[in-house]
Amino acid sequence: MLLDHPSDGPTAIRTQFGAIFVSLELSRSTWLITSLSPGNGEKMSRHSVSASDTAELMKLFSELKRKAMARTGQTYPIITIQEAGLEGFWLHRVMRQEGIESHVVDPASIATSRRRRRAKTDRLDGEALLRALLAYKRGEPRVCAMVAAPSPEEEDRRRLSRERRTLIAERIEHVNRIKGLLFAQGISDYVPLRQNRRIRLAALRTGDGRELPAHLKAQISRELDRLELLLTQIKAVEAEQDALLAAAAKFESGTTEPVAMLSALKAMGPNFAIILWSEAFYRQFSNRRQIAAYAGLAATPWRSGGIEREQGVSKAGNPRLRTTMIQLAWLWVRHQPKSALTLWFKANSQRGSKRMIVALARKLLVALWKYVTHGVVIEGAVMKSAA
């Protein structure tokens, strides 16, 4: 989209724009639109529209195309870029429906000034986005990382595992709060998750032999109300997950559906299979480095001159996937003791189990990716049907 410019001017940008490039700096109240159009002296123009006003945005795009047509006598397509954030992907889908080439970029991948006090405004951010888009369209390698937007179905499917994780975190908070309130009264053997929690609460005595104070008992009773609601919601979410797995299991033997292939592995429970399917294996990766980087499990070396040291994993990817893989790595060692990955881990675990389990999580993720995409069975792995 960018060609050499014939101008010999010393300050001219030596490019000829084959499109109207637009960056969108989104906020809750106002969208700042920064554009670079052909025939405008390579100057950036700025406009603003009310947040979520797509009709006004499309009207602005039409005006940009009309002005470019008046200056050059040609029509140009519009190419947009926006940061991945709270807006999600709905605006990106609106652009695609209107026939506009749209890109969503990982904001952490855009190079910024390393000065201790750098200026940051929406205007400067809009210009930085536009420069990143121009470099990306020129084909410059590694200038930024564009996000692969999931389809509405894929985005909706992963809500199950994410909601379950949120509900379980809330359940832990309520259980710990109840235990803390009772521990202050000398009671340490109460388990809020048991079925007889209400009966046990009525029979509790403090460490000095008193009945529970009335207000404390009422507070704990209300905590149990919320806890029971959470337990009901967790069961409902897990039932939806089971239905999703059952639907995937209806495929014939030899299916390439990732969730069905993952569920066949020993040590792989339904929740792990759902998370890996919805968080990672719904999209395409070109090589093992991409999948490791997406999970934030890629190494980050520091090498400058004679200095060489490792900073650990990047932790720059999907945090849900990274946490799941580390948990799965521990289960893999327990339930797949004869696999090549487990033998490798045991042979190197003297270096430190915490460090090596992260390395095993990375290797396991790559092995699972090869398994679901190319059918390469993990060496020594045991399937549930053969267990």
CATH code for residues 7-149: 3.30.420
Q: Do domains 7-149 and 155-249 have the same CATH topology?
A: no
Q: What is the DSSP-derived secondary structure letter of residue 105?
A: E
Position 309 scores a pLDDT of 86
Position 250 scores a pLDDT of 64
CATH classification number, 155-249, choose in 1.20.58, 1.10.150, 1.10.287, 1.10.3470: 1.20.58
CA 15 to chain centre: 36
Q: Of the given ranges (15-19, 120-124, 204-208, 337-341), which has the lowest mean pLDDT?
A: 15-19
Distances from the Cα of 202 to the Cα of 49, 56, 205, 206, 217, angstroms: 60, 62, 9, 12, 8
Report percent pLDDT > 70 for the chain.
Answer: 92
Mean pLDDT for the stretch of residues 70-92: 92
Residue 267 Ramachandran class (φ > 0 left, ψ -120 to 50 alpha, else beta)? left
**Could you tell me the residue ranges of all domains in the chain?**
7-149, 155-249, 258-386
| Residue 265 φ/ψ, nearest 5 degrees | -85, 135
- Which tokens go with 339? 């696999």
**Residue-wise pLDDT tens digits, 180-202:** 999 999 999 999 999 999 999 99
The amino acid at residue 275 is I
pTM: 0.81
Whether 5 shows a pLDDT value over 50: the answer reads: no
Whether 106 shows a pLDDT value over 60: the answer reads: yes
- Which tokens go with 50? 């009310």
Position 14 scores a pLDDT of 44
To the nearest whole number, what is the mean pLDDT of the chain?
88
Give the pLDDT band (50/70/90) at residue 253. Answer: very low
CA triple 87-284-334, angle to 5 deg: 100
**Residue-wise pLDDT tens digits, 118-165:** 888 889 999 999 999 999 998 888 899 898 899 999 899 889 999 999
- Residue for token pair 């945005």: 57
